[in-house]
Chains A and B, each alone.
Chain A
Amino acid sequence: AQKITQTQPGMFVQEKEAVTLDCTYDTSDQSYGLFWYKQPSSGEMIFLIYQGSYDEQNATEGRYSLNFQKARKSANLVISASQLGDSAMYFCAMTRRLANSKLTFGKGITLSVRP
């Protein structure tokens, strides 16, 4: 079974600063994928970034980067230069890479960006 843990309380960050959102995971699979999604108050889940377990480099997508530490089973999301529009819920999720793409989600973290 796969498990995602997101334990940070609501996070606050000043506009234009960087913020790290924590995610740890547990799996017995050797091959898996890690995802981050953003969910604004409108409710839609927006895909941000993906990291494969065998990828040697950390994934980056614009202002988003994933700090992947396989030995620690952590996949933290780093948002650089925060913007007011980044205020939302952020979910970490994982999938078994060689099977279907069913996602297992964490409980999410609320991020608030202050002007």
Chain B
Amino acid sequence: DTGVSQDPRHKITKRGQNVTFRCDPISEHNRLYWYRQTLGQGPEFLTYFQNEAQLEKSRLLSDRFSAERPKGSFSTLEIQRTEQGDSAMYLCASSLKLSPFFGPGTRLTVL
């Protein structure tokens, strides 16, 4: 399968714990995006990489959130000291030109 993959697909954690998600983009895609989607809403942009450079971060991305793409391939999104409001679907997408392709998402539940 050559699509975008994300791991894990589901994560349940207790408030205050740290979590890390991984995204593997389509291999030739140089752009990688993270979005967050809460129930009944459309995805909201979090951050964007072109190769290994993080070019834009949303104001939604508090200092508890950090994303990396160290070699311009896979990316990780870490949430420190999770809060119940962090419960959401975290979507990764990649693109080469204009049309981003999305992965299956990681569903986070913070208890």
Interface residues of A (CB under 8 A from B): 4, 33, 35, 37, 42-47, 50, 91, 93, 95, 97, 100-108
Contacts and interface: CB of A to CB of B under 8 A. Distances in A.
B103 interface: yes
A99 to B, nearest CB: 9
A46 B91 CA distance: 12
Given A43-B107, A45-B93, A102 B56 contact: yes
Contacts of B95: 101
A44 B102 contact: yes
Interface residues of B, number: 27
A44 B33 contact: no
B81 to A, nearest CB: 26
B72 interface: no
B104 A107 contact: no
Interface of B: 31, 33, 35, 40-45, 48, 50, 55-56, 89, 91, 93, 95, 97-105, 107
Contacts of A47: 99-102
B40 A107 contact: yes
A100 B105 contact: no
B33 A102 contact: yes
B50 A100 contact: yes
A103 B33 CA distance: 9
B105 A44 contact: yes
Nearest to A44: B104
Contacts of A106: 42
B103 A44 contact: yes
Nearest to B46: A102
Contacts of B107: 43
A75 B108 CA distance: 32
